[in-house]
Amino acid sequence: MSTVYSDLPTVKYEGPSSTNPLAYRWYDAQRVVLGKTLAEHLRPAVCYWHNFCWKGEDIFGLGNTVFQRPWFAEADPIKAAHLKLDAAFDFFGKLGLPYWCFHDRDVAPEGATLAESNRILDGLLEAAARKMQDGKVGLLWGTANLFSHGRFMSGAATNPDPEVYAYAAAQVKHVLEWTHRLGGANYVLWGGREGYETLLNTDLKRELAQYGRFLSSVVEHKHKIGFKGTILIEPKPQEPTKHQYDYDSATVYGFLKTYGLENEVKVNIEVNHATLAGHSFEHEVATACALGIFGSLDANRGDEQLGWDTDQFPNNHVQLVPAMLEMIRHGGYTTGGTNFDAKVRRQSIAPIDQLEGHIGGMDTMARAFLAAAALFESGQLEQAVADRYAGWNGELGQKITGGASLDDLASLVHTQGISPAPRSGRQERLENIVNAFV
């Protein structure tokens, strides 16, 4: 079937010297690095929402369809959804990436009742299942949209109305079951409205308890249906709510510990969300890895001059190397992957712009990973870190970690005349080492 992407070429790897704008220069899917192929390391995915649902509108142009796609012009919402699905899988095939991601409302329009919405979604996802098999495309993760409809204006799990909570639970149940049927590797919960606008009308303790119970129910149902994938929470600090309960990786970990879910749920970290929280991307990755909750990544970037989530394609591999290094140090993905939660700019209205955006983003991530892998294999930073903390392997370090009391340590300091001198962290030298690899 012909789609808006049919005339675009299938993207191939041509190497760093290629001048072809529609070829991969760094993403060689079959290149083996650190014992696995790049495709196995990066597990890249294309998102459904930005590519096929966004009409190019912004806050100053709501209802203005900038991107002229056939499915936006189709009056019948079911026919439009199938046109969109056909185009999406055509696009996936052009890129040759192994995974896709979706929200339920991306794929299918909403009906008058949840039962009707589910029936419509069933038909579309049955068609998607056939296309996945034909095109050999897997599902990195599925999720339910619990933020767009007005019923969710005060949250889903954290809503003051228990009917909204129940509706959201029923919606998640259906999409989780479909994610399982489609062989999804993960299921994501993005709590875009799980937070508050003002504490003047908010019972924060109650809302956190509701959120904890909701997530526990999702985990319970995962095990009931035999879903082997990972449940992921996607942290974000604000926008659209003033303060969201899943602010960053550390906040999510504290929440999970409170409700005994730290071994059941991990995080899906988005670059742009990390920076909006006032962190670097590598900080969020390192924190999640250190706490044992690293799961998956949304690859994009923000604009340093804009204070909101711009979801631009990554285009600076140097900035991403530290995060890739943290991933490699901690063993990389298990069920997670690299989802391009990114969109072309409003003025990039041609279908080819979407292709080029993904090519550039894929090459950026691959180049960053290759540099980080070479840096890791050199052992230079690992040795520097080991040397810096070497004292903890000595007698004093072992006594401290073995449970020495304040009295014990005070006695040692006085009897041995311990008077430590400052030691250089050699940051400039280490930065130079990194620069030699990027």
Alpha helices in 54-203 (DSSP H): 70-73, 77-95, 104-107, 114-135, 162-181
282 assigned to a ligand binding site: no
270 assigned to a ligand binding site: yes
Contact 46, 99 (CB under 8 A): yes
223 assigned to a ligand binding site: no
122 assigned to a ligand binding site: no
Q: Which residues are catalytic?
A: 103, 106
Integer Cα distance of 33 and 180 in angstroms: 31
298 assigned to a ligand binding site: yes
304 assigned to a ligand binding site: no
Dihedral pair phi/psi, residue 293, rounded to 5°: -125, 15
Beta bridge partner(s), residue 268: 296
Integer Cα distance of 393 and 404 in angstroms: 15
Residue type (1 letter), 20: N
177 assigned to a ligand binding site: no
Q: Distances in Å between the alpha carbon of 32 and those of 14, 27, 36, 343, 373?
A: 16, 11, 5, 29, 11
Q: Tokens 């009409």 sit at which residue?
A: 55
Helix axes 351-378, 380-388, angle to 10 degrees: 60
Known binding-site residue numbers for Mg(2+) = 234, 270, 273, 298, 309, 311, 341
Known binding-site residue numbers = 234, 270, 273, 298, 309, 311, 341
